[in-house]
Amino acid sequence: MEFTENYPEIIGSSPAIAHLRGLMAQVAGTQSTVLLLGETGTGKDLVARAIHRSSPRRDQPNITVNCAALPADLIESELFGHEKGSFTGASETRIGKWELADQGTLFLDEIGEMPLELQAKLLRALQEREIERIGGKAVIPTNVRVIAASNKDLSAEVQHGRFRSDLFFRLNVFPVTIPPLRERKQDIRALAVFFMKKYAERMGRKAPRIAGKVMRKLLAYSWPGNVRELENLIERSLLMTPGPVIDQLFLSRHDEYLGTVMTGNRVKTIDEVLREHILQVLKLCEGKVAGPGGAAEALRVPPTTLHSMIKRLGIRKAYPTDHQPLPES
């Protein structure tokens, strides 16, 4: 059987998404461990479910454990289970998520948050394909496919001693990096329409149209929260707009602030902020650098200084906002 589904739940037609779908199709039909990497909100859980649904295990359990959502002292019991009386409060035997996922798929979300002491037990379960419940003496054989995900740089976590190198190498069999929304902006329109229809249907109303000026703002925004932020914004805008046209964005002040100072999961550098500001001023000045009404006058810097900054920051003669050439002087 070939596993070449188009993954309709993965919205978009950008080269980055086409590449992602290709990787998913390449690995879905195998038994290999998959490591999903990407910023918060890019849809790692959606990709994990899609891989499971197009795998030979599709009719078997697909179990999720969020390693960041559980206290450190409960993760082992949640993952591997425990026997009755194995610790205070263990009033009955509990089957863990690993055992429940036997013959199926186990999605370990935020794997970078797993405590070091539990990482060794996870490695053993992966390598030996067997587990032991807390307080148990019997070895339980299992057949579990693991898909792990992290928004952290796990190789950096290894270097800092926060993640086991042997576990990292075991998980990193087939790494898949999910692109941030700012690197696939041509997909924003399709995503916005998809979410608009989704939430309008839930509300029992006809999906409103998104005004052109709103769509332009969606395309210009940097989306530090990625697809999840876009989805939340569309739902909020739908709730705030009773009419047939979405003509206003309902970004919170916190969202707007993050959009100016963040890129993905990190703070923008001064040069990045400066570059964006110069590009916006050049757009307002229609590409004019020097002379009356030029960008240098607006920024209150000598034209020679602005030219030097343009060169140092790598601002091209045709900048992406309106593609008008910058004059040489």
pLDDT at 261: 58
In contact, 82 and 101? CB cutoff 8 Å? no
pLDDT at 263: 61
pLDDT at 2: 39
Look up tokens 């924003």; give the residue: 188
pLDDT at 35: 98
What DSSP letter does each residue of 148-185 carry, written as one string?
Answer: EEESS-HHHHHHTTSS-HHHHHHHTTEEEEPPPGGG-G
For CA atoms 294, 300, 303, 309, give the dihedral sign: negative
DSSP secondary structure letter of residue 112: G
Residue 62 is encoded by which pair of tokens? 């697909």
pLDDT at 148: 98
Of 10, 320, 14, 40, the C-alpha closest to 183 is: 14
Q: List, for the chain, all residue ranges whose pLDDT scores fall below the cut of 70.
A: 1-6, 252-267, 317-329
pLDDT at 89: 79
